[in-house]
Structure 1
Amino acid sequence: MVPRRILLETGLECFRESLNDLHAPATCATHLIGCVTTIFNFPPSTPRSNAEMDVMVKAVEKHYEFLNLAVSFVAVPRTSRQLLKLTTDLAKCDCPMSHPGSTQLHDLGQHWVNDMACKDVTTLLYFLLFVPSAILKGVNKTRVAKGSNKHWPRSISDIVPFGFDALVEALSQWTVVLANPIPLLFLGDALHVCGRPLFTAVTTSPTFMDRLISLLRITCANMRRPQKSEQLPVSYFYIIAVFLFHVMAQRTSQNSIMIWVRGRELELYPILSEAVTITKDPKLWPRTVQRDATGIAMIVNIFHAFAFHFSKDVPRPPGLHPELAPARESPEIEPVIRLYDLLSTRRDECYAPGCMRSLQEVGHAFQKCGACRKVTYCSKACQGADWKNTEYPHKLICRQLQSFIAASGSATGHPKDNFFEDFDQAEAEAVTAPLLAWVKARDAQKELQDLEKSMRGLAKTEKDEGAVEMIPDLRSNS
């Protein structure tokens, strides 16, 4: 057995030498898996706790060159023929064993291929993207946008080495070749950091929607196979749902998703219905997999929310799963998406009406409202404009927002300041209940404003006609 320190050095050196040519690696996928898992300091089995993930992230986030090389290997532009040749070559084992520990790395890679019960190329891509995605979840987006982050990624170019369109094309190609959504792991978290430019690349890609529909269809077919040889497909719906969540959270308007899907609604409806049916049917899950009620509810809710955003003008066909049809017009789904959309994921966008510029576009950190500490602005002028906004003035909703944050923090048992950081661990009811109340209060406030405006208009008319009455202050009785 080679000592850990030497094995790590060997893994880094072998990985670098193997990917000297991104289109023709010098070693097989199994050997590369051994290199990657050694560098990531993976335990004997996949990590199950946040503590294990933190250890891996801290161990690897300083390996700047390695992480850049891993992302470049996945994201480099390739033709379909080049990608098929690459996957064929990676499956062949003719690796030089010149470094000390090379055999041990190869055996380690084979262990993980067997443990995952997946093809070697599928397992390799999972490990290449798993930890970089975890790093992006906790990265300081402002520092990355300014190019001043201390560790990886130092700038947006590390996440998108060949451009936004090239990243979307490359990752969607991988989903087709591997017939699984693992590349969407990275793309979803990259959306969280890169914001609007990457969202635009996803929603304007001429091929991405076709490949997403094909991926959903293949995943449904795989889940219905009597013999499921792979363990990973059971989590495929979760990966797809989380990716769609990131897309919806980054939407630039209420119609963005509808425009993106336009013309494909009737294809998506039955596929999403099938995905929901499989997700909620325990008979279609492998016996070895423990079903998580909260995770299942999240998948179903996100699929419904996605259908809700593109179906406003298209009637839903008959025979859909009850969770998708008939359409639910209540705002019960909206708060779940709005939580990340309004208060977490979009902290890097200006909330002033008509602005919505991202920090990637502005290039500097935004200032938060001094009261609620959640709503952000790119300038004092935008803050003033939002404070006096005629539709939803922040002057009126700021106090409601503070109440929601306080109620959410106490409801989850987390300190108020840590509530959003601990959102993933919060119970669904603890999140949706106070948020739904806040949304209703906000909508009620608008109705109140509209009613008061109408009454004042009526009073002015009656005054002109000689009938003078006092207009009560509606807010005092609300």
Structure 2
Amino acid sequence: MSLARPRKNYFFTSFLSATPEYNYCGTCLLGVFERKNPFPGSLKKAQFISDFQKDGMLLNLVMRFLFTVRTDKEIEEIFDRMEPCSCPMEDQEIHSYHQLGNVVEKEIFPMLTGAENATPAICLMSNLLRLVSVALDNAHVRTVAKGKSTIWPTSPKDLIPFGAENLVQRLLQWSRLIPDAMIFRFAGQCITFCGALVLPSFLAAKFTRHVVQAGRNLADHAWRAVQKPNPQTRRQIGISFRRQSSCIASFLDSTLDDQTIQTSTDFIDGVEIKSIQLLSIFNYLVTDDRLPLEGGSESIKAFLLNFDLRVLKLYSLVRGNFDRVPDIYLFPTTYEVIEPQLAADRLKMAELADSKEGEEFSSDGEDIEPTRPGQSAKSRKGKARILDSFTLDGSEGSLPSTMTEEQEAQFFQETVNNAMTFLRVAKFQLRCSVFACPNSIQSTGRKFQRCTKCRLALYCGKECQLKAWKDKEHPHSKTCQVVSKLVRIGRGEDLLFYCEHPGDPRWFPEELRLKVRDCWLKGGVSADELLCIILWGARLTSSGELPKMEKPEPGWDDYQAFIGELAGSSADRQPIPLIHVPYL
């Protein structure tokens, strides 16, 4: 076939199919790619979806190209074929592609770690990963999982053309060959869209360990650049660091959101402390004046806050899994963000300990007997006793005299907030609601259905639905009534389930929480009903009793030393230790 005036799709298909007749250099292919890809060009997303994402055949070809089994040497041979330029530059179309390709190189290279060693071929592979990642940004998990999506991907199988284990191994291979953390962002998206189909393979490969190590390499690279005198070099590294660190953090989100406690714990196995330290390291680098970043002060402030909230999620998970967590030194503003929440948790633990102590020495010896919503308990102790002593509208009883008014108000608000959170988690999660069931909507597709009464509990099939309905501890036959009532009074989709950030259902503005609370107050929701939701909701994310780990992973002290180096001698940048208070 003549090279003159070739179709753009021919460039792609001949290259992606590795046909012998393709003879285009990396720069030329980058130019062709720019005509389709909105990263970092000027095409708008709507145009991108219309022009590219509906072409499922082409995107499936990209996936098959990226995840075909090859040795490192075979990939290097593909790179080598794109290095010498033998394109007929007299052809105006091809000449224009080269011009575009040169522009892309100048824009993309600074985004890569170690851009000085990047080539047009590496840049092209990076852009292919960006292509599928942007496509997933515009897709919807539920429609993809049920095979109803009209745009790519049409089902989770589009993301695993050669199986889950191959997907993970090829991602690790590309991470060694391409200096772009976009690989890890895409990996997190695969976890989100494929769920139980890929989780075992990611966990078996200890994938998060590779991600954390890549993050540490990124931080080391940025730290070396910070100390260089050339401002242009520091500016380029600043651009790269912000984008690359965001991709690392995005993967960590996928290990924490919509996962059971057991799964999240397994994901960070071996890097429990390092993952927290890494985010603190990122904050030190982001705030170093010698490393200029893109965006204004508000943008950077929001960027830092996202890191801080991830630290809180990770620490909340980690501290429950160790008999003793070492003191973790944090960036000062990170400590300021998460310490108030941890202080509130410590207060609740102390209150719970007091109630347990009173229960331990009680002489009546009666057990807690669960009750139906609206009924008073016959004999209840500890946290249940506290809850039973008041109702939301304050018409009955009062909190124990040992609690101050401030503690009473805090306990009341926390109880309401916990109930809201669990209802929202149940609404937005994509896993089976049955305790410890490993199935997700991605692995069961259209069989995955909600309870027809409360429209909240999710089941992977009839067997789990029947199991939940007759569960000994929290039978859904009883919980369903309470769930339905609180959702109805809380105005469901219009208020309680309003979700500006579907990826994080726990995020719910305080002003909306207060509105839901007021609705529940006026609707006469009882304390028992709140407790019912809290106990049921806790089982949605629980995996049973987890063994306590005696000591953290090796190497965390090296990260600690690096934090000290980043802090320097400036008084306002000195790290603050987060002192562990074990669960009681």
Give the TM-score band, short-chain normalised: 0.7 to 0.9
CA contact (8 A) 2:160 2:167 kept: yes
Query: In structure 2, what is the equivalent of residue 254 of structure 1?
Result: 261
- 1:319 alignment partner, SS class: strand
- 1:195 alignment partner, SS class: helix
* More moved, 163-172 vs 88-97: 88-97
CA contact (8 A) 1:249 1:337 kept: no
When the two chains are superposed, the root-mean-square deviation of aligned CA atoms in Å is: 4.3
Query: In structure 2, what is the equivalent of residue 132 of structure 1?
Result: 132
CA contact (8 A) 1:204 1:260 kept: no
List alignment gaps of at least 5 residues for structure 1.
1-5, 451-478
Matches within 5 A, 1:212-361: 212-224=211-223, 225-226=225-226, 227-230=234-237, 231-251=239-259, 253-279=260-286, 281=287, 283=289, 285-291=291-297, 292=299, 293-311=301-319, 312-313=321-322, 315-322=325-332, 323=334, 328=342, 342-344=426-428, 346-347=429-430, 349-361=431-443
Q: Distance in 2 between matches of 1:396 and 1:319?
A: 43
Instruction: Specify whether residues 269 and 377 from structure 1 end up closer, same or farther in structure 2 by C-alpha distance, changes over 3 A only.
Output: closer
In the alignment, is residue 106 of structure 1 matched against residue 192 of structure 2? Answer: no
Q: How far has the Cα of 1:14 moved from its partner?
A: 1.0
Q: Distance in 1 between matches of 2:82 and 2:438?
A: 44
Q: Distance in 2 between matches of 1:372 and 1:153?
A: 31
In the alignment, is residue 30 of structure 1 matched against residue 27 of structure 2? Answer: yes
Matching residue's letter, 2:272: E
Q: How far has the Cα of 1:377 moved from its partner?
A: 2.5
Q: How far has the Cα of 1:171 moved from its partner?
A: 1.7
Matching residue's letter, 2:16: L
Matches within 5 A, 1:375-454: 375-379=457-461, 382-383=464-465, 385-386=467-468, 389=471, 390-391=473-474, 393-401=479-487, 406=492, 409-410=494-495, 419-420=498-499, 423=502, 430=509, 434=513, 445-446=531-532
Instruction: Specify whether residues 152 and 310 from structure 1 end up closer, same or farther in structure 2 by C-alpha distance, changes over 3 A only.
Output: same
Q: Distance in 2 between matches of 1:276 and 1:375?
A: 39
Instruction: Specify whether residues 449 and 129 from structure 1 end up closer, same or farther in structure 2 by C-alpha distance, changes over 3 A only.
Output: closer
* More moved, 94-103 vs 175-184: 94-103
Q: Distance in 2 between matches of 1:386 and 1:151?
A: 35
Query: In structure 1, what is the equivalent of residue 186 of structure 2?
Result: 186
- 2:285 alignment partner, SS class: helix
Q: Distance in 2 between matches of 1:103 and 1:81?
A: 31
Matching residue's letter, 2:296: Q
Matching residue's letter, 1:328: L
CA contact (8 A) 1:22 1:73 kept: no
Q: How far has the Cα of 1:181 moved from its partner?
A: 0.8
CA contact (8 A) 2:276 2:311 kept: no
Instruction: Specify whether residues 149 and 446 from structure 1 end up closer, same or farther in structure 2 by C-alpha distance, changes over 3 A only.
Output: closer
Q: Distance in 2 between matches of 1:263 and 1:24?
A: 47
- 2:330 alignment partner, SS class: coil
Instruction: Specify whether residues 95 and 448 from structure 1 end up closer, same or farther in structure 2 by C-alpha distance, changes over 3 A only.
Output: closer
Q: How far has the Cα of 1:358 moved from its partner?
A: 2.1
Q: Distance in 1 between matches of 2:143 and 2:528?
A: 33
- 1:30 alignment partner, SS class: helix
Q: Which has the larger radius of gyration?
A: 2
CA contact (8 A) 1:156 1:194 kept: yes
Q: Distance in 2 between matches of 1:23 and 1:310?
A: 52
Matching residue's letter, 1:178: I
CA contact (8 A) 2:482 2:529 kept: no
CA contact (8 A) 2:185 2:251 kept: yes
Instruction: Specify whether residues 338 and 302 from structure 1 end up closer, same or farther in structure 2 by C-alpha distance, changes over 3 A only.
Output: farther
Identity percentage of aligned residues: 19
Query: In structure 2, what is the equivalent of residue 53 of structure 1?
Result: 45
Deviations 1:348-404 (A, max 9, x none): x32133545223433424333456644422345644554565348343234334556
In the alignment, is residue 161 of structure 1 matched against residue 247 of structure 2? Answer: no
Q: How far has the Cα of 1:445 moved from its partner?
A: 0.9
Instruction: Specify whether residues 269 and 125 from structure 1 end up closer, same or farther in structure 2 by C-alpha distance, changes over 3 A only.
Output: same
Matching residue's letter, 2:325: P
Query: In structure 1, what is the equivalent of residue 395 of structure 2?
Result: none
CA contact (8 A) 2:419 2:533 kept: no
Instruction: Specify whether residues 25 and 186 from structure 1 end up closer, same or farther in structure 2 by C-alpha distance, changes over 3 A only.
Output: farther
CA contact (8 A) 2:188 2:250 kept: yes
Deviations 1:68-98 (A, max 9, x none): 1222222223333444554455455444669
Matching residue's letter, 1:305: K
Q: Distance in 2 between matches of 1:129 and 1:241?
A: 17
CA contact (8 A) 2:147 2:154 kept: yes
CA contact (8 A) 1:168 1:201 kept: yes
Q: How far has the Cα of 1:187 moved from its partner?
A: 1.9
Instruction: Specify whether residues 71 and 100 from structure 1 end up closer, same or farther in structure 2 by C-alpha distance, changes over 3 A only.
Output: farther
CA contact (8 A) 2:454 2:480 kept: no
Deviations 1:220-274 (A, max 9, x none): 12333232425333122222222211222243x3122323333333544433321
CA contact (8 A) 1:11 1:35 kept: yes
List alignment gaps of at least 5 residues for structure 2.
111-117, 227-233, 346-413, 518-526, 537-584
- 2:264 alignment partner, SS class: helix
**TM-score scaled by structure 1?**
0.73
> How many residues are aligned here?
426
- 1:242 alignment partner, SS class: helix
CA contact (8 A) 1:180 1:215 kept: no
CA contact (8 A) 1:125 1:182 kept: no
Instruction: Specify whether residues 434 and 168 from structure 1 end up closer, same or farther in structure 2 by C-alpha distance, changes over 3 A only.
Output: farther
CA contact (8 A) 1:28 1:93 kept: yes
Q: How far has the Cα of 1:304 moved from its partner?
A: 3.3
Matching residue's letter, 1:211: H
Q: How far has the Cα of 1:67 moved from its partner?
A: 0.7
Matching residue's letter, 2:439: R
Deviations 1:30-61 (A, max 9, x none): 22222222134x498456xxxx3233112212
Instruction: Specify whether residues 421 and 166 from structure 1 end up closer, same or farther in structure 2 by C-alpha distance, changes over 3 A only.
Output: farther
Q: Distance in 1 between matches of 2:100 and 2:20?
A: 24
Q: How far has the Cα of 1:184 moved from its partner?
A: 2.0
**TM-score scaled by structure 2?**
0.61
